[in-house]
Amino acid sequence: MQLDATVEGGGAVSAHGGLDSPVSRRAALGLMAGTALTVVLPACGSGSGGAAAGSGGGGGNATLRMVGDQVITNLDPRTSLGPDGVVIRRNMFKTITLFNSANGDVTPLFAAELPQQVDATTWLLKVAPGQQWQDGSKVTATDVKYTIDWMQNARNGSLFGTAVLDVVKSVEVVDPSTVRLHLTRSSGSLLERLSAIAPVPKAVAERVGPKRFKIQPLGLGPFAFEGFAADQHETLKRWEQYPLEPKAQVAHADLQRIVEGSARINALQGGQADVDINVDPDLFPVVSGSGLKGAKHAGAGYNAILLNTGIKPFDDQRVRLAVAHAIDRDELAKAVWNGLAQPQVGPLPPWHYMAADVRAPAHDPDKAKALLRAAGHTSPLEFELMQGIYSTGLTMATVLQKQLEAAGFKVRIKTGDAEGLYQYVFNKTWQGFSMRGNTSIIGGYADLYARWTSQAIFNNAPASELAPIVKGLEKADAIPSHDLGARKAAYAALQQTIVDQARIVYLVNPSVLTASVKSVQGMTFGPDGVPNTLTSVTVAA
């Protein structure tokens, strides 16, 4: 699911000036509204090596103007889990490794080489040479240790610490370019997990503090921070002193929030923007005919129904399976997503290299009714289904209501903004929630896709009922990364357990839909729906 971290305050800034721990519940779900308090601060970095604008470096003076409906509140790669932070993580920072979730390939990025395993619970990680922070200081192993320690400190509210680094016991600096990772247990997904961790400069982060770093970060990538206005826009500029290749081709890159889909397309057509990073599905068919370039990319987002399995009627597995049998995923893909989605029955998107061909309850309204009768419900079973309001939300609610009522349910739809509705999940009083999410915004590895379903914050079930999922997670992650066949078998069994329990009924996997003006070339997107590193992008005059 799409996650983000809470920002205190908000503001406009210019460069010229465990899930059940204290982690914010809003931080666990990326459900924020920013404020527009205006503040001007001097740059975090100091010295001639800082994020200075100029005309040299990578080349042209063009500005890439991106628009989307995402919130823009937090730019700190240690805590931000929304598109606003992912853009920063990919362009101002570097994750330790780079993971391709379609084929399972892992390559070094911040690291000089893939971390080397010493024994079952010990790994060595070396920092790639030639890197420097944008204040001119050298990147060292101390920055790696500081970042991991900071993320694991519960007071800092980093979901990376609880959901990604939970297998790390401690970090030891061996020499200026090497750290030793000590794990709590063997983890076959460690190299994949490290693709979510982007080290930050210890000296700068400690000096300015987290509140300022989250709205004015300093990194080491081909782009540097230029400006930020909470829930309005974030702007990067080419770092002219970037010592490595490839260098940025555009001088500036701006991401602006425009909530309404047709307004984003109008901005492209009117020359006020260059790329819409998330086109509404009902608008996508007309994009190409409007003089724009439309593109469809494999996405990791999903729609699902989250059921409260700790209260009646969904504490009964037969009722949950009745919901699953009521669903016609093909109809949802066509009616809600204009055919721009595919059925998804388990926690992993169908194209993921660990996705399994699991057995899912087939669309069978009569079977659903029989299950309800077996559970003692002889008349239509009434329940409330919450639905967030967004471009596809109301259509989704209408189609789900029709399908469920044809299968023996009576459905009351409750609509509202997602943040407001999630309060009922947190206080355990909801019944059903038609939700959308994208777990890959944190990381694309299989363990994470499955793990959040076992967290108490999303379940109202006793630990004994969740034990099979937890046991399956531990078994799958204990298998060494090189034993691919055994890992796939273990994750397949885990996915089947999640589908059989039907605590979450997965619906469809939508494509990432984008549009751009024809002058933009070289732009690619990750499965999280966020542009990949922008160094290859050009904007013709």
Tens of pLDDT, residues 244-291? 999 999 999 999 999 899 999 999 999 999 999 999 999 999 897 889
Residue 35 has pLDDT above 80, yes or no: no
For residues 313-326, give the mean pLDDT. 98
Q: Dig out the tokens for 309 from the structure.
A: 């399995």
The mean-pLDDT minimum among 14-18, 162-166, 309-313, 392-396 falls in 14-18
Exposed e or buried b for every residue in 395-404, given b needs 16+ CB within 10 A?
bbbebbbebb
For residues 419-431, give the mean pLDDT. 90
Residue 53 has pLDDT above 50, yes or no: no
Residue 33 has pLDDT above 50, yes or no: no
Cα–Cα nearest to 23, from 177, 126, 157, 182 = 157
When comparing pLDDT for 246 and 417, which is higher? 246
> What pLDDT does 59 receive?
56
Banded pLDDT at 426 (limits 50, 70, 90): confident
Name the amino acid, one letter, at 20. Answer: D
> What pLDDT does 12 receive?
63
For residues 169-178, give the mean pLDDT. 98
The domains of the chain are located at 97-203, 302-510
User: What does the CA dihedral 111, 136, 52, 14 come to, rounded to 10 degrees?
Assistant: 80
For residues 306-325, give the mean pLDDT. 96
3-state secondary structure 217-275: CCCCCCEEEEEEECCCEEEEEECCCCCCCCCCCCCEEEEEECCCHHHHHHHHHCCCCCE
For residues 71-92, give the mean pLDDT. 93
Percent of the chain with pLDDT over 70: 88
3-state secondary structure 141-169: HHHHHHHHHHHHCHHHCCHHHHHCCCCEE
Do residues 181 and 123 touch, judged by C-beta distance below 8 A?
yes
Banded pLDDT at 203 (limits 50, 70, 90): very high
Q: Dig out the tokens for 59 from the structure.
A: 């080349």
Residue 44 has pLDDT above 50, yes or no: no
Residue 3 has pLDDT above 90, yes or no: no
CA distance 432 to 416: 14
Residue 405 has pLDDT above 60, yes or no: yes
Quick: pLDDT tens for 482-491.
Answer: 999 999 999 9
Quick: pLDDT tens for 209-240.
Answer: 999 999 999 999 999 999 999 989 999 999 99
> What pLDDT does 23 receive?
34
For residues 496-522, give the mean pLDDT. 96
Cα angle, residue 483 at apex, residues 482 and 487 outer, rounded to 5°: 120
Percent of the chain with pLDDT over 90: 76
Banded pLDDT at 502 (limits 50, 70, 90): very high
CA distance 234 to 224: 11
Cα–Cα nearest to 436, from 85, 68, 80, 31 = 31
Residue 114 has pLDDT above 80, yes or no: yes
For residues 460-484, give the mean pLDDT. 91
Give, for 434, the enclosing helix (H) or strand (E): strand 432-437
Of the candidate CATH numbers 3.10.105.10, 3.40.50.720, 3.40.50.12160, 3.30.70.2080, the domain formed by 302-510 belongs to 3.10.105.10
CA distance 492 to 487: 8
Banded pLDDT at 406 (limits 50, 70, 90): very high
When comparing pLDDT for 124 and 453, which is higher? 124
CA distance 358 to 367: 19
Banded pLDDT at 54 (limits 50, 70, 90): very low
Cα–Cα distance list, 92 to 107, 226, 259, 402, 512 (Å): 19, 11, 25, 47, 23
Widest distance between CA atoms in the chain = 76
Banded pLDDT at 442 (limits 50, 70, 90): confident
Quick: pLDDT tens for 10-30.
Answer: 456 655 443 333 333 333 343
Give one DSSP letter per residue of 315-338, joined into a string: TSHHHHHHHHHH--HHHHHHHTTT
The mean-pLDDT minimum among 10-19, 240-249, 369-378, 437-446 falls in 10-19
- What topology is assigned to 97-203 in CATH? Dipeptide-binding Protein; domain 1 (3.90.76)
CA distance 207 to 536: 33
For residues 143-151, give the mean pLDDT. 98
> What pLDDT does 298 receive?
93
